[in-house]
């Protein structure tokens, strides 16, 4: 039957940790300790990638790369990447459990989807040791997908590679990529879904891409909110998202829309 069989969710910024704040300050801090002042925007840009790849991506940014060369008289190398990551992981682990609150609406929507018979998988930019902390704390707070995979399960080939999605499909026995919906809050998430050939969906409010706390978002005027939402929606679509949703509460309705499209013979990558 041509219907959605499974949904694969990202973790931070999608299912838990509104605004995806757990890693951001740590990225800023480790670069500051190395004598390089990076912006929050630079720290967020590669979000969703495996964290060591995230550091490599930040060092490769023209401005950051130039600052590094000015500071050290040479281009960064792999030893620098590994040294920064060695500082990043323990710093993140000390605070990670504090950033595991489910985002409003997620517990309810996941329960509703499971009640409809859908399988709920997940992928992440966190390592397996990080996910042990996140998954255990989120479970105590009421959120638990059927399964999760990390880049440690795919030989460190994280997003935008599609392999974590394929591992979910295999484990959950999902029969075809076009019967799978991937939801995430970063460009890396969108690309992961596109590369896997599944329906790729960007969630906007509470996303790392928006980069605002709940208080910051609620303090904005209506016009400011709409402008911020529109900017993120356009970025997701530009990078290949089939759809965007403002919050996870819209996911059930979107899946029904996708089911209607599947019944008409439509497939991911073809909007309309």
Name 30's Cβ contacts closer than 8 Å, sequence gap at least 6: 55, 84, 87, 88, 91
- Please check whether residue 52 is in contact with residue 85, taking contact to mean a CB–CB distance below 8 angstroms: yes
Q: Which residues of the chain, if any, have pLDDT below 70?
A: 270-272
Cite the annotated binding site for Mg(2+) by residue number. 10, 12, 185
Digit-coded pLDDT (tens) for 227-257: 999 999 999 999 999 999 999 999 999 999 9
Q: Which domains does the chain have, with CATH numbers?
A: 6-20+101-263 (3.40.50.1000), 24-98 (1.10.150.240)
Catalytic: which of 17, 51, 53, 189?
51
Digit-coded pLDDT (tens) for 37-52: 999 999 999 999 999 9
User: The pTM is what?
Assistant: 0.95
What local confidence, expressed as pLDDT, does residue 229 receive?
Answer: 98
231 classed as catalytic: no
What local confidence, expressed as pLDDT, does residue 112 receive?
Answer: 97
What local confidence, expressed as pLDDT, does residue 271 receive?
Answer: 54
Rounded-to-integer distance, Cα 183 and Cα 199, Å: 8
What local confidence, expressed as pLDDT, does residue 1 receive?
Answer: 82
What local confidence, expressed as pLDDT, does residue 20 receive?
Answer: 95
51 classed as catalytic: yes
Catalytic: which of 10, 17, 53, 189?
10
Helix, strand or coil for residue 102?
Answer: strand
Phi, psi of 221 (to 5 degrees): -70, 165
Residue 3 CB burial class (10 angstroms; 0-12, 13-18, ≥19) = middle
């Amino acid at each position: 039957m041509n219907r959605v069989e499974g949904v694969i969710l990202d973790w931070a910024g999608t299912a838990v940790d509104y605004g995806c704040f757990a890693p951001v300050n740590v990225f800023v801090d480790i670069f500051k300790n190395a004598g390089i002042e990076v912006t929050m925007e630079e720290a967020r840009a590669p979000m969703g990638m495996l964290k060591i790849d995230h550091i490599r991506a930040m060092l490769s940014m023209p401005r950051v790369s130039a600052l590094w060369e000015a500071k050290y008289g040479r281009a960064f190398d792999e030893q620098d990447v590994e040294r920064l990551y060695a500082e990043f992981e323990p710093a993140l682990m000390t605070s990670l459990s504090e950033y595991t609150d489910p985002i409003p609406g997620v517990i309810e929507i996941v329960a509703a989807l499971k009640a409809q018979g859908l399988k709920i998988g997940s992928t992440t930019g966190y390592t397996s040791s990080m996910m042990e902390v996140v998954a255990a704390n989120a479970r105590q707070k009421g959120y638990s997908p059927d399964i999760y995979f990390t880049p440690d399960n795919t030989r460190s080939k994280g997003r935008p590679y599609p392999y974590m999605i394929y591992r979910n499909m295999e484990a959950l026995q999902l029969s075809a990529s076009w019967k799978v919906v991937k939801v995430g809050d970063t460009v890396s998430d969108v690309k992961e879904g596109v590369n896997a050939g599944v329906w790729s969906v960007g969630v906007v409010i509470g996303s790392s891409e928006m980069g605002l706390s709940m208080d910051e978002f609620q303090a904005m005027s209506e016009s400011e909110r709409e402008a911020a939402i529109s900017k993120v929606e356009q970025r997701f679509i530009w990078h290949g998202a089939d759809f965007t949703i403002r919050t996870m509460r819209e996911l059930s309705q979107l899946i029904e829309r996708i089911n209607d499209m599947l019944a008409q013979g439509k497939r991911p990558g073809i909007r309309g």
